[in-house]
């Protein structure tokens, strides 16, 4: 993924200046926030969750669900907003989810979600901004 050019690109210094240290670690170095640590886990209002790195809309709140994992979970992204790659880190094989617009790491997707997709997009809350519906 690192070799791909995304529509939104920034230097490392620009990423560091615009993101908090935790966001930078998660979004630019494939980190993970502590489970249950982000207020967006509990966000229940109607609205849109967007990438904290480029403001691209990623998930609609109507597709958010409580997975019990400690991270915001969704069963379908906004069409074309995310891309996936194989993540072989930590001795396991998972499917990484990143922003299709800026390449920032968001989390992982697993095949254990609710209908209709059966998918669980397990997303780091620090990688998201929430915009309430008008």
Residues 6+ apart with CB under 8 A from 99: 6, 51, 53, 54, 56, 58, 81, 82, 83, 106
Query: Which residues form the catalytic set?
Result: 122
Supply 61's token pair: 């709140």
Beta-bridged to residue 44, according to DSSP, are none
Q: Do residues 126 and 38 lie in contact, with contact meaning Cβ atoms separated by under 8 Å? A: yes
* 66/36 Cα distance (integer angstroms): 12
């Amino acid at each position: 993924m690192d070799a791909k050019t995304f529509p939104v690109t920034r230097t490392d210094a620009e990423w560091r200046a615009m993101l908090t240290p935790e966001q930078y670690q998660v979004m630019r170095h494939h980190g993970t926030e502590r489970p249950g640590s982000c207020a967006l886990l509990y966000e229940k209002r109607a609205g849109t969750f967007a990438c904290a790195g480029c403001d691209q809309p990623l998930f609609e709140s109507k597709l958010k669900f409580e997975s019990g994992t400690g991270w915001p979970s969704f069963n379908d992204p906004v069409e074309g907003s995310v891309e996936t790659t194989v993540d072989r880190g930590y001795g396991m094989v998972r499917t990484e989810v990143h922003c299709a617009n800026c390449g920032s790491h968001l989390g992982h997707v697993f095949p254990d979600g609710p209908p209709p997709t059966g998918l669980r997009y397990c997303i780091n809350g620090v990688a998201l901004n929430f915009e309430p519906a008008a």
